[in-house]
């Protein structure tokens, strides 16, 4: 999700007000960004229930650590960083507990998209078959993205889903721009290879 300069200015003003003691400013920040946080958590963790819990915990951390935000990067870049680090901790905790339960990234959308596509087929529209094929390709891409190593998955989500710039991604991941570009290239290559392998089987 690309951020405009004016949106960044609004965030900075809300942060300033919050640091100065205006607690209502934080509520405004939450309204502005809670969907962004939840969506990113969902893509990283793959489970709606885990994502909801993680998003709430991220917002608690933001409230706690916001006074430390120095404004050296955009607020949203800092927010992505906090969210990413928290989701990494959640994944590490689950791995230590050998928690094998997993809801697919498209667990909710599968039902919605499935029923919608069936209705389109029943409606006998000429392009219904193309729509169904596109939905299947998107489903496959989501599944293969979810299986990627975190080093590739995180950077693809930030660039291709969240629309962050190379500089913003570098700030979020503590990487130089050159490394960001090369990792994005390699990550896209890995995803493409997986999709080709999936289509052939």
pLDDT in tens, 30-86: 999 999 999 999 999 989 999 999 999 999 999 999 998 988 889 999 999 999 999
Give the confidence band of 11 by pLDDT, cuts at 50, 70, 90: very high
d(CA 142, CA 73): 30
What CATH number does the domain located at 148-200 have?
A: 1.10.10.10
Judged on CB neighbours under 10 Å (0-12, 13-18, 19+), 155 is buried
Give the CATH number of domain 5-96; options: 1.10.3720.10, 1.10.275.10, 1.20.140.10, 1.10.1740.10.
1.10.1740.10
What share of the chain in percent tops pLDDT 90?
A: 58
In which residue ranges of the chain is CATH 1.10.10.10 found? 148-200
Cα-only R_g, the chain? 19
- What's the chain's average pLDDT? 82
Please identify which residue in the block is written with the tokens 């607020």: 75
Query: Which DSSP category does 161 fall into?
Result: I
């Amino acid at each position: 999700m690309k951020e405009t300069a004016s949106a960044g200015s609004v965030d900075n003003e809300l942060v300033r007000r919050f640091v100065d003691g205006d607690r209502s400013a934080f509520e405004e920040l939450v309204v502005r960004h809670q969907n962004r946080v939840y969506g990113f958590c969902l893509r990283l963790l793959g489970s709606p229930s885990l994502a909801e819990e993680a998003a709430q915990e991220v917002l608690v951390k933001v409230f706690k650590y916001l006074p430390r935000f120095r404004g050296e990067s955009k607020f949203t870049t800092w927010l992505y960083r906090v969210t990413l680090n928290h989701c990494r901790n959640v994944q590490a905790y689950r791995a230590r507990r050998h928690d094998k339960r997993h809801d697919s990234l498209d667990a909710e959308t599968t039902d919605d998209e499935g029923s919608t596509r069936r209705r389109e087929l029943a409606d006998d529209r000429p392009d219904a078959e193309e729509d169904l094929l596109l939905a299947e390709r998107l489903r496959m891409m989501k599944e293969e993205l979810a299986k990627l190593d975190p080093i590739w998955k995180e950077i693809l989500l930030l660039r291709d889903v969240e629309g962050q710039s190379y500089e913003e991604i570098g700030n979020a991941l503590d990487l130089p721009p050159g490394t960001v570009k090369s990792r994005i290239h390699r990550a896209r290559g890995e995803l493409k290879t997986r999709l080709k392998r999936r289509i052939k089987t």
